Amino acid sequence: MITDHALSQKKRISHAFFTRQGGVSDGVYGSLNCGFGSDDNPQHVARNRTLAMHRLGASDDCLATLYQIHSASVAVVDHAWNPADAPQADGAVTNVAGLALGILSADCAPVLLADADAGVIGAAHAGWKGALNGVVEATIEAMCALGAEYARITAAIGPCIQQASYEVGAEFHQQFVDTQTGHGEFFEIAAKDGHFMFDLPGFLVRKMHDLGLAAVSSTSEDTCADEARFFSYRRATHRGENDYGRGLSAIMLKD
């Protein structure tokens, strides 16, 4: 598993960006697939989530993940739920110790956030739609409603698709520059005519820096390029595979 240096310095916080390694699933799901939304054996997924929680130092039943819909909706979490009962949202916040907020991803950016002084944590699933529509800002705003402060929040972006792997078309590019002219700096001209290479983590880093957070970092790990360690929707699509695993990122406020 991968951890962020700044978050690791917070004594009240446990967190991890898990790789695909160390689980019980096989085939395209090998091996730490934590997504019930996949067609993997549900018993394997449940076991993988338990293994991840043990590595986080958490109990088996403390993980709360979302029914992610590429939105800017945020859930305030006060208890863990059955995955089948997960709310439709792409951000989660809590001030309850012992609850692990989980994000599932396979190229989209998992963002973990903490104000350790206030005892408030957050997690966001930021694909390009969520990033453009403000899921990270909405998650941070929800944290502040629980007592966090912008200037005390530490944010870490986990493994996700990097610019070198993220080729997009002209319409995609236009959506961003139509929103704000400065968004064009997160695109480079691609080798393919009329296409661009998009910097998703760079876009998110700038957004959070502009909010005045205490610290913002990115792991710079490329989920699409590193098949040995990460699941990737784009890689699976290019290969014509029918499904793919989901990686877990989680953060917890310690008791």
**pLDDT tens column, 140-195:** 999 999 999 999 999 999 999 999 999 999 999 999 999 988 999 999 999 999 99
> What would the DSSP string read from start to end of 46-79?
HHHHHHHHHHHT--TT-EE--B--SSS-EEE-SS
What lies within 8 Å, CB to CB, of 10 at 6+ separation is 114, 116, 154
Cα 239 → chain centroid: 24
CATH number at residue 66: 3.60.140.10
Considering the domain boundaries, does residue 213 fall inside one? no
Asked whether residue 186 is domain-assigned, the answer is: no
Residue 204 falls within a domain, yes or no? no
Over the stretch 191-211, which tens digit does the pLDDT of each residue have? 999 999 999 999 999 999 999
Residue 143 inside a domain? The answer is yes
The pTM (predicted TM-score) of the whole model is 0.98
The boundaries of the domain holding residue 120 are 5-148+227-253
Q: DSSP characters for 17-57?
A: E--S-S-S--GGGTTT---TTSSS-HHHHHHHHHHHHHHHT
Question: How many domains are there within the chain?
Answer: 1
Would 65 be classed as within a structural domain? yes
222 within some domain? no
Average the pLDDT over 202-229 and give the result: 97
Read off the pLDDT of residues 31-84 as tens digits, 9 standing for 90 and up. Answer: 999 999 999 999 999 999 999 999 999 998 999 999 999 999 999 999 999 999
pLDDT of 80 reads 95
CA distance 141 to 17: 23
Residue 142 lies in a domain: yes
Q: Tell me if 79 is assigned to some domain.
A: yes
Predicted confidence at residue 92, as pLDDT, reads 98
